[in-house]
Amino acid sequence: MMVRSENADSELLGIVSISSTGEYLVVDGGANVVYRCILTSPNNQILESSCGVFTSDMFDPYAITIDEVKQLVYVSDFTKGVITVFDYEGLNLGDLGGTGALFATNGLAFRHGAYAPLMVVVDVAIMLLSRECSCSRIE
C-alpha cells in the first residue's frame, strides 16, 4: 500500500501494521492526526480521503508501535513528552510519561519478553536510547 498526502503541512512520520485487523495506522505529525487505513486498498491513495481518522487528540504525534497481545497502540507526542496509549478502536487510555522523564520522543518499539514487556524509547532531547517501561497500569 502506498499513500500520499495533499496537505502541504503533512509530515508522514510513522506507520504500523495491525495484522489481526488488516489495517495500517499512519502518523501525520504535521496535521496532528493518526489515520487508520485498510491494508488491501489500492496504491497511491490520498491519505485524507481514503483513510479514516484513528485519533486527532494529540498535540504532536511522532512515533508509533503496537502491542498485538494486549491490542494496545502507543503513540509518542514529541512536544508534550508523553506516550499516549489507545485501544484498537482509538479510545485514549491515558499517558505514559509526563513527569519530566521524556522530552522529545521520536522512536518507539515494543516486544514481549519472557518476564515482562519491554518498550524501547528513543528520546533525542536527553539522548535516551532505551528505557524499560512498566505498563502495568494500562491493562
Domain CATH code at residue 78: 2.120.10.30
Q: Which of 40-44, 92-96, 105-109 has the lowest mean pLDDT?
A: 40-44
Q: How far apart are CA 3 and CA 136, in angstroms?
A: 35
pLDDT of residue 91: 93
% pLDDT > 70, the chain: 63
- Per the domain annotation, does 128 fall within a domain? no
- This prediction has a pTM of 0.76
Q: Which residue spans within 1-139 are E strands per DSSP?
A: 3-4, 12-18, 23-28, 33-38, 45-46, 52-55, 61-67, 72-77, 82-87, 92-97, 105-111, 118-123
User: What is the pLDDT averaged over residues 112-135?
Assistant: 50
Predicted local distance difference test score (pLDDT) of residue 8: 76
Query: Does the residue 63 lie in any domain?
Result: yes
In this prediction, residues 74-102 reach a mean pLDDT of 82
Q: Averaged over 55-73, what is the pLDDT?
A: 86
More confident site: 60 or 42: 60
60 occurs within a structural domain: yes
For residue 42, what are the domain limits?
3-123
Q: Of residues 139 and 16, which shows the higher confidence score?
A: 16
pLDDT for the residue 132: 47
| Count of domains observed in the chain | 1
Is the residue at 38 inside a domain? yes
For residue 133, being part of any structural domain is answered with no
Strands 45-46 and 72-77: unpaired
